Amino acid sequence: MTPTDRAALRQALLSPRAVALIGQSDDAAKTTGRPLKFLRQMGYRGTIYPINPRRETVLGERAWKSVSALPEPPDHAYILLPTEAVIDAVAECGRAGVKIATILAAGFSETGAEGTAREHRLRAVATETGIRVIGPSSLGVVNLREGVMLTANAAFAEPDIPVGRIFVGSHSGTMIGALMSRGKAKGVGFAGLVSVGNEVDLTVGEICLSTLDDPDIDGYLLFLESLRNSAALREFALGAAARGKPVVAYKLGRSSAARELAVTHTGALAGEDDVASAFLADCGIARVESLEGLLEAMPLVRRTPIRPAGARPPTVAVLTTTAGGATMVVDPLAMRGIEIAQPTAETFARFAAKGIEATPARIVDLTIAGARYEVMKAALDILTTAPEFDMVLAVVGSSARFQPELAVRPVIDSASAAKPIAAFLVPEAPQALAMLSEAGVPSFRTPEACADAIAAALARRAPKPAAPTPAIGDGRVLDELEAYALLDRLGVPRSPAVALDATIAQVPSLPFGYPVVVKVLSADIPHKTEAGGVALNVQDGDALVAAIKTMRATVQQRTGITPDRLLVAPMISGIGEALIGYRVDREAGPLIMVAAGGVYTEIYRDRSLRLAPVDLPTAHAMIDEVKAFATLKGFRGKPAGDLDALAKAIVALSQLALQNDPVVAEAEVNPLIVRPDGVVAVDALVKTG
Amino acid sequence: MTPTDRAALRQALLSPRAVALIGQSDDAAKTTGRPLKFLRQMGYRGTIYPINPRRETVLGERAWKSVSALPEPPDHAYILLPTEAVIDAVAECGRAGVKIATILAAGFSETGAEGTAREHRLRAVATETGIRVIGPSSLGVVNLREGVMLTANAAFAEPDIPVGRIFVGSHSGTMIGALMSRGKAKGVGFAGLVSVGNEVDLTVGEICLSTLDDPDIDGYLLFLESLRNSAALREFALGAAARGKPVVAYKLGRSSAARELAVTHTGALAGEDDVASAFLADCGIARVESLEGLLEAMPLVRRTPIRPAGARPPTVAVLTTTAGGATMVVDPLAMRGIEIAQPTAETFARFAAKGIEATPARIVDLTIAGARYEVMKAALDILTTAPEFDMVLAVVGSSARFQPELAVRPVIDSASAAKPIAAFLVPEAPQALAMLSEAGVPSFRTPEACADAIAAALARRAPKPAAPTPAIGDGRVLDELEAYALLDRLGVPRSPAVALDATIAQVPSLPFGYPVVVKVLSADIPHKTEAGGVALNVQDGDALVAAIKTMRATVQQRTGITPDRLLVAPMISGIGEALIGYRVDREAGPLIMVAAGGVYTEIYRDRSLRLAPVDLPTAHAMIDEVKAFATLKGFRGKPAGDLDALAKAIVALSQLALQNDPVVAEAEVNPLIVRPDGVVAVDALVKTG
């Protein structure tokens, strides 16, 4: 989207000079009665055209018969009509020159064949007339700064809605009200909120894109039900990152049950959750896992620098007056892989020099006796300047409630430290939380939200520049020799192999020794083992000829295909195996994956994903994420595998994202044998796009 | 503990006629100044003896010189002195006839050798004088009903502390104040709260035990930092269950980092978290995983019947006006293995008969259009009487905030339904929450706390009667034939095997065919493979004699032990393998475990544990908990393994908990081969106690 397009969209969306409420009811208690009430309540200063052909007035205001009867085309129409009446209304709006129609009704592609047909007609009308559409199933568009309350969400009856600098894009309509009302209770205000519904036309990415240069917006919260329309989302995220505007997202669908629900509910496709996670992370978006985390994470995410790929794992210093309270945060943090590192001996020496008693441990526990301003402040000064930490977490016990001067004030007075500080207060302590918040110290109400925000902030990655996603057509499966040739071009080491005629009767001479493996060589037989097309551990030439003869017969019998050629390769063993895979994901684009392979990896979903291509530090980070690779790191006295070679192979395969000849839709090296000195691909399956 | 002992302990603990505050400061802002202030503030009606030999008065009241100078021995003394002065004070209290001394100071066994010596002296003084001790590191004992505020926790400066019917036992002193103040903010009151500190004498279990017959206590919250002193905890939990008083526990230490911290902080031993989970569950205790869950779960746990072992997995019906909001609960629920089941066709037919539009899906989504009293109430009536569900979750969207009559009132009017109902309100809606709470409907502020409470309530098991824990001494390792004999007595099927002389030179006649496995037979060589003491796949008699000869030499060379005997058994293969293990855990008592065995099971901690012995339905439930057993259930076209035989083997091994001849400290069958028809142990390691 060009800057001009963005500005035009933003204007019609968030700063409409006039709005139409099509189907506005006279009953303010009804869903369709709310928008007019809310617009008046928040003091919208543009022109409002309530449209209701059956009434002269609605809620005491003149009701217009139709959009075409209006003296001017409004910028933005909120269509509150029942499903069946929506398309005609959109068409009328489009013809009248309305720029955006937001649709409340449900009943489109999420409801089966009839709904899908309706959605097609809606798209056609939009394309024909040039009108942009938000929804269907949109609870509306809100710009709190200008009182634009094009929403039917009942929660917006809230008085004194605070205005802030965060913009919300949400797949769920309920959530715009929930975030607003919950935010108010926490002192968090928003600039605007949009419920994007089913995204038939305008997507959450495009809508957020349009607001990128809004000077009164300095951060984004996204509530996502699935990963869809990801190109615009990525473009937006990159733009936000370039402007230093952090994006925090909550995405439903960590469980497969929830992903199934997203399909039923919105008609979206259900991708795999770790694909969505990889996508969001590689867009520089911080993903939280709780509702409280979504509302509370922004200040900490904003203050936490993005760590470069290849940096050591992030470490958090924990300073507390209550070990039990601090452990409530440490426990969920550790479950998410965030290391609570023990201060170095140097740091403990600095404590001692200041007369601070601190037992060498991973938590600096001042105990109740240390809940004093001087002690706490000195300890914070030391930890915020200790080079071994990326962040300092201060956990304050019961004194926070009535004596914040003891242990909360020193945290406030450390707000400008060079390192981000997060605070968790163990008792209910609203005043102290407000003091911290006002001073700009990210602070949290629950240990779980605190851990969620810290993990999300520290996991944030630099966004990866968007590469064009290769167009995928109906490709073909390469045979193994062709696949090996592709690996050779990419620089993924692979086993030597020779192709033999399947009718061979004499012992061939091989460029490698026995034992060997024999595999049927045919793109038409992807499942070689099931077809009887693999013979392992063939010990000598005679056995090889015999194996080939048997294989030819078995394959023919099982598949009906008479194999022409066979591939012979040496038997190769190593410390263990890996699976590396590349594919162009329908939603996320080119992806690279590494896993241990095998049945258990599948059961435990133990794999690491990134948007492709990746660099070497990223490949190493991926390897570190796969738990099963513990067996490659000198496990139980076994030698270690060559993880650097594994990382290089990941990088090499990920370069498929940049190549067009051929376009590759999917490539899987499984297994890649990991040896003490190098890696070797011994099987590869490649499908072109 | 006898009822009389319990009553006496409870009286001195929670209803002391007189209390002493030893070391009470004149400065109410200091930690040691708080107890007197709090006692007066809450209107304690017994006699208070502040003791401070350096002052005539403290906080305007007469200060006494010493406990021995008092006109009567108080029931309970709170010792606020520095660490070094504690033991003399306890001794003086004991001699004067004080029944309980609660100790604030830290600095005992958690601080190393000097502290450990101090703790030994403390124990000796207690034993000598008969005084019972709470702490050290106890922030005190609170009985809100009688204004007993023997606490230095600053949070108790709270005005208008609500009194309720829940009793809190906490390893953490901070948490008694945090639970009280956070509870107040949520409308949750407590009867009493005890910070048990390091449990040198009185444990959290004994303290709770003493309150079991308190008619004003009808439930318990426990905050545990580790599993320790578990016998009393189990006795208490069984007593609470017998009286229908639910126990909800939060336990730190899900991560290994947190378990390490518990060791540093309290000197407790760090057990494995799944052992603690199994222990708590088999005590009938509901374990929550979040602070909010701990505060909010009780009403739901109270209303949720305990499901018998062997019942189908619990199912939750979800009724909502907002699919996105509902999925926020469904997602974490599904991550914890709670099934959101789709209503049956019969149930959907009942919806249709009432004119309720509901798309067949796992969530009954009435949409915003269904946010009406009649629709919601009729839907609740149907779901609370649908036999396929154990619980109904109602998730109400934005209308909950200002129009609770639409979709919250029907939930309230369903409070007396036969099935437990849980409610989550998506927006901030304090009034509606208060209405629900007043009506006795368990309701939740966050989707995460809601999911936590539901999972904890549905996972609750009937407490297992306490069996005496066998006393474990220095036992010995049985050789494999002895171990097999034990398996035979228990009824765990095992491989046939014969013992041969290690000097055999002639081909022996075997009662089974080849191929066979040969293993060195010696209790002195537990690690047979490493010793060269295993030969697999021996094909015939000559190979057997050769293998024996080689093995004898290798074992002698590697271990210095000349093996006398060898065990020969047939090679047995199956669908897969299992590991079943029994051990007497230091803290939890006799435990039975099942896992898939092997490297990956260890990496993923994929195992299931119960207190032993177990019955057949429980054994089946354990098998269902092991993810890797997916491979035994007809995975990728393989035949299914005999899981009933596996369950029977688990039950059989678990009977070790009941046998005394010999007492077994540890027994591990690894692997147990799982075949389509039966299971066979092919190796066993047993250590007597």
Enter the tokens of residue A647. 């990382």
Q: What is the pLDDT of residue A471?
A: 84
Indicate the residue of B156, B261, B403 with minimum beta-carbon distance to A327: B261
CA dist list (Å): B105 to B221, B373, B535: 24, 57, 61
Distance CA B80, CA B33 (A): 9
pLDDT band at B263 (very low <50, low <70, confident <90, very high): low
CA dist list (Å): B456 to A234, B256, B423: 39, 22, 15
Q: Is B269 left (phi over 0), alpha (psi -120 to 50) or beta?
A: beta
- ∠ CA A117-A122-A127, nearest 5°, is 125
Q: What amino acid occupies position A424?
A: F
Say if residues A237 and A209 touch (Cβ distance below 8 Å): no
Distance CA B111, CA A74 (A): 74
Q: Which residues pair with A316 in a beta bridge?
A: A340, A391
Over residues B445-490, the pLDDT tens digits come to: 999 999 999 999 999 999 998 777 888 888 899 999 999 999 999 9
% residues pLDDT > 70 (chain B)? 99
The full DSSP string for A637-667 is: GPPBP-HHHHHHHHHHHHGGGG--TT-EEEE
Q: Tell me how crowded residue B381 is: count the other CB atoms within 10 A of its CB.
A: 16
Comparing A199-203, A439-443, A462-466, the range with the smallest average pLDDT is: A462-466
Indicate the residue of A173, A252, A323 with minimum beta-carbon distance to B265: A323
- Name the DSSP letter for residue B655: G
pLDDT band at B657 (very low <50, low <70, confident <90, very high): very high
CB contact under 8 A, A253 and B448: no
Distance CA A321, CA B418 (A): 46
Comparing A49-58, A234-243, A357-366, A386-395, the range with the smallest average pLDDT is: A357-366
Q: Which residues contact B323 (CB under 8 A, 6 or more apart)?
A: A172, A261, A264, A265, B363, B365, B367
Distance CA B635, CA B649 (A): 22
CB contact under 8 A, B627 and A604: yes
Indicate the residue of A174, A290, A291 with minimum beta-carbon distance to B398: A174
- ∠ CA B110-B111-B115, nearest 5°, is 95
CB contact under 8 A, A331 and B628: no
Q: What is the mean pLDDT of residues B234-244?
A: 97
- Cis status, amide bond into A387, omega within 30 of 0: no
Q: What is the pLDDT of residue A606?
A: 92
pLDDT band at A262 (very low <50, low <70, confident <90, very high): low
Q: What is the pLDDT of residue A86?
A: 97
pLDDT band at A503 (very low <50, low <70, confident <90, very high): very high
Instruction: Check pLDDT > 60 for residue B275.
Output: yes
CB contact under 8 A, B258 and A330: yes
Q: Which residues pair with B583 in a beta bridge?
A: B591, B666
- Measure A33 CA to nearest chain B CA, in Å: 13
* Sheet with A47-51, side-by-side order of all strands: A47-51, A18-22, A76-79, A100-103, A132-134
Distance CA A405, CA A402 (A): 9
Comparing A256-260, A439-443, A543-547, the range with the smallest average pLDDT is: A256-260
Q: Which residues of B321-359 are buried (b: 16+ CB within 10 A; e: fewer)?
A: bbbbbbbbbbbbbbbeebbbbbbeeebbebbeeeebebe
CB contact under 8 A, B174 and A402: no
Instruction: Check pLDDT > 70 for residue B269.
Output: no
Instruction: Check pLDDT > 60 for residue B268.
Output: no
Q: What is the pLDDT of residue A572?
A: 95
Contacting residues of A for B362, CB less than 8 Å apart: 257, 260-261, 264
Q: What is the pLDDT of residue A267?
A: 52
pLDDT band at A233 (very low <50, low <70, confident <90, very high): very high
Comparing A85-89, A376-380, B108-112, B542-546, the range with the smallest average pLDDT is: B108-112
CB contact under 8 A, B340 and A628: no
Distance CA B107, CA B89 (A): 15
Distance CA B140, CA A119 (A): 65
Q: What is the pLDDT of residue B266?
A: 54
Q: Which residue of A has its CA nearest to B183?
A: A428
% residues pLDDT > 70 (chain A)? 99
Q: What is the pLDDT of residue A251?
A: 96
Distance CA A359, CA B515 (A): 60
Q: What is the mean pLDDT of residues B351-373?
A: 90
Enter the tokens of residue A609. 């994903």
**CA A118 to mean position of chain CA atoms:** 31
pLDDT band at A530 (very low <50, low <70, confident <90, very high): confident
Q: Which residues of A502-522 are buried (b: 16+ CB within 10 A; e: fewer)?
A: bebeeeeebeeeeebbbbbbb
Enter the tokens of residue A429. 């302590």
Q: What is the pLDDT of residue B517?
A: 96
- Measure B402 CA to nearest chain A CA, in Å: 7
Q: What is the pLDDT of residue B524?
A: 87
Distance CA B49, CA B335 (A): 54
Q: What is the pLDDT of residue B480?
A: 92
Q: What is the pLDDT of residue B491?
A: 97
Q: What is the pLDDT of residue B153?
A: 96
Q: What is the mean pLDDT of residues A225-240?
A: 93
Over residues A606-642, the pLDDT tens digits come to: 999 999 999 999 999 999 999 999 999 988 778 999 9
Q: Which residue of A has its CA nearest to B294?
A: A446
Enter the tokens of residue A615. 């660099």
Over residues A301-320, the pLDDT tens digits come to: 999 999 988 889 999 999 99
Contacting residues of A for B630, CB less than 8 Å apart: 603
- Cis status, amide bond into A246, omega within 30 of 0: no
CB contact under 8 A, A359 and B328: no
Helix H or strand E segment including A534 = strand A534-538
Q: What is the mean pLDDT of residues A166-181?
A: 97
User: Within a 13 Å sphere around the CA of A112, how many CA atoms are in the beta-carbon half?
Assistant: 3
Q: Is A404 left (phi over 0), alpha (psi -120 to 50) or beta?
A: alpha
- Residues, chain A: 689
Task: ipTM value, please give it.
Answer: 0.94
Over residues B396-429, the pLDDT tens digits come to: 999 999 999 999 999 999 999 999 999 999 999 9
CB contact under 8 A, A427 and B322: no
Instruction: Check pLDDT > 60 for residue B270.
Output: no
Helix H or strand E segment including B393 = strand B391-396
Distance CA A566, CA B294 (A): 64
CB contact under 8 A, A362 and B178: no
CB contact under 8 A, A448 and B290: yes
- Give the pairing of strands A607-611 and A57-58: unpaired
- Measure B241 CA to nearest chain A CA, in Å: 27
pLDDT band at A527 (very low <50, low <70, confident <90, very high): confident
- Residues, chain B: 689
Over residues B492-535, the pLDDT tens digits come to: 999 999 999 999 989 999 999 999 999 999 888 878 888 999 99
Indicate the residue of B173, B326, B428 with minimum beta-carbon distance to A181: B428
Helix H or strand E segment including B483 = helix B480-490
Indicate the residue of B139, B178, B362 with minimum beta-carbon distance to A257: B362
Over residues A29-49, the pLDDT tens digits come to: 899 999 999 999 999 999 999
Q: Is B584 left (phi over 0), alpha (psi -120 to 50) or beta?
A: beta
Indicate the residue of A185, A367, A427 with minimum beta-carbon distance to B177: A427
Over residues A553-563, the pLDDT tens digits come to: 999 999 999 99
CB contact under 8 A, B254 and A181: no
Over residues B311-348, the pLDDT tens digits come to: 889 999 999 999 999 999 999 999 999 988 899 999 99
First to last CA, chain A: 28
Q: What is the pLDDT of residue B328?
A: 96
Contacting residues of B for A225, CB less than 8 Å apart: 324, 327
Say if residues A582 and A664 touch (Cβ distance below 8 Å): yes
Over residues B47-89, the pLDDT tens digits come to: 999 999 999 999 999 999 999 999 999 999 999 999 999 999 9
pLDDT band at A548 (very low <50, low <70, confident <90, very high): very high
pLDDT averaged over chain B? 94
Q: What is the pLDDT of residue B639?
A: 92
Indicate the residue of B331, B365, B627 with minimum beta-carbon distance to A603: B627
φ/ψ (deg, to 5) at B503: -100, 10
Over residues A177-201, the pLDDT tens digits come to: 999 999 999 999 999 999 999 999 9
